[in-house]
Amino acid sequence: MSTLKQLILLRISSGGNISILCCYQCAGLLIKTSTQSINLESGKGGKNMEDRLGRKITYLRVSVTERCNLRCLYCRPESDSGAGDGDCGNSNGGLGAAALDNESFLRIIAAAAALGIKKIRLTGGEPLVYPDLAALVAGIRAIAGIEEITLTTNGLLLAEQAGQLKAAGLDRVNISMDSLEVTRFAELTRGGDLKKVLQGMAAAMAAGLSLIKLNVVLVKGVNDCEISDFATLTMGLPIQVRFLELMPFGIGAEMGRSAVVSADEVIARLPDLIPVEINKAQNAGPARVFRLPGARGTIGFISPVSSCFCPSCNRLRLTSNGLLQPCLFSAEGIDIGTAARSGVSSEELSAIIRRAVLAKPEDWRKVAREIPDRCGRCALGRPERQMSQVGG
């Protein structure tokens, strides 16, 4: 029986038009199924997109899949198979929609770029389990106005894909690594192989996917004993280790505030830290950035719980099933996937994106809901949806 393989072909004209041809290859034959045209020049010189509070929205996080090859303690319930994309609970926000394909992703991203989106981050689930990821990266790279394409990954499959993704146009990667001890890493991830992740980091460095950032979610009493070890990594490696506060989202919400290690607690344990001016910190994002004396790398802190950065939020999220999330904690997303699949005009897609931008709340704490944690204390969070369903 012949294998059927989906292909996305890009044809770019001198006038700035891109034709996205969706084809299937079977037994050596190409079968064309659809063509969409997008003007690449439309994103050049366009006005920045602002929400109702005047925040410029320039960053789109795209969850390409809910599937994951790990089940981290704070991300997925132990009973979750990691199948994703319609297979785990209310994963599609009640739409009953299948995951988007590359053609739909590219149409949405092109419309977003025309409105002022400049940075794309590909997330999951685990994005490296998504088929044809390199083709998607190449398609995004061809869209005018997109200045940076990044990826957040657990790193297990990175060693074998880093070179291909760099060649396709990926700029850099963030790698989730919550422990430097083999046994603890396996426990936190429910089966992850730390050696493979370290090999993936080395491959990313060799491929030129830098600045590499290591994302470390700290859980009190579990891995906060490794703060000093992670900080020491920056002495010899030109990377950024980022300590992230546990978000009250999904399983993380159930763990409660008592499990959160605040950024100030970590800073107190590293008394030699020197602040790095934000304009000198490459790709700092919402992180507060520091450096140890003589270090090649830096240390960043993402503190959404203890020090909310909502006033400077510049992002939207697109789920793998086609929902635009104005905020990580928004109760409902705005469906753009149905429109993208049906072949509506770029103008209609743009109108949906603008609606999502105008729906951005002032502060995540105003859209989260009050929930009891495991200790019976009330805290704000969003426990009914897992992080893997929104893309973090």
* Residue 216 confidence (pLDDT) above 60: yes
Domain-located, residue 6: no
Please indicate, yes or no, if residue 80 is contained in any of the structural domains.
yes
Q: Within a domain: residue 235?
A: yes
Q: Which residue has the tokens 């009330």?
A: 378
Q: How confident is the model over 247-283, as pLDDT tens digits?
A: 876 666 566 678 899 999 999 999 999 999 876 445 5
Work out the burial of residue 220: count CB atoms within 10 Å of its CB; fewer than 13 is exposed, 13-18 middle, 19 or more buried: middle
Of the pLDDT bands very low, low, confident and very high (cuts 50, 70, 90), residue 227 is very high
Tell whether the model's pLDDT for residue 306 goes beyond 90.
Answer: no
Cβ contacts of 49-52, under 8 Å, gap ≥ 24 = 49/115, 49/116, 49/117, 49/353, 49/354, 49/357, 50/357, 51/357, 51/358, 51/360, 52/358, 52/360
pLDDT at 4 over 90: no
**Total number of domains constituting the chain:** 1
Residue-level pLDDT at 279: 63
Is residue 123 domain-resident?
Answer: yes
Strands 288-291 and 119-123: unpaired
pLDDT above 60 for 346: yes
Q: What percent of the chain has pLDDT over 90?
A: 62
Is the predicted pLDDT of residue 77 greater than 80, yes or no? Answer: no
* Average pLDDT, rounded, for the chain: 83
**pLDDT attached to residue 26:** 42
Residue 381 · residue 251 · CB < 8 Å: no
Residue 25: inside a domain: no
Q: Where are the alpha helices (DSSP H) in the chain?
A: 102-115, 133-141, 158-168, 182-189, 194-207, 227-236, 251-255, 263-269, 337-342, 346-358
- Does residue 286 fall inside a structural domain? yes
Position with higher pLDDT, 218 vs 386:
218
Tell me, yes or no, whether 36 lies in a domain.
Answer: no
Of 1-15, 57-71, 214-228, 307-321, which gets the smallest average pLDDT?
1-15
Domain presence at residue 26? no
Residue 194 has pLDDT above 90, yes or no: yes
What CATH number corresponds to the domain at position 49? 3.20.20.70
pLDDT at 76: 74
* 80 pLDDT tier (thresholds 50, 70, 90): low
pLDDT at 38 over 80: no
Q: Is the pLDDT of residue 292 over 90?
A: yes
Lowest mean pLDDT: which of 102-111, 118-127, 273-282, 355-364? Answer: 273-282
pLDDT for 379: 47
Q: In angstroms, rounded to a whole number, what is the distance separating the alpha carbons of residues 319 and 16?
A: 28
For residue 34, the model assigns a pLDDT of 46
Q: What is the reported pLDDT for 79?
A: 67
Given this model, what pLDDT does residue 366 score?
76
> Does pLDDT of 40 surpass 70?
no
**Residue numbers of the domain that contains 107:** 42-389
**Alpha-carbon 72 to chain mean position:** 16
Q: Supply angle C-alpha 154, 288, 308, rounded to 5.
A: 90
Instruction: Give the pLDDT of residue 287.
Output: 85
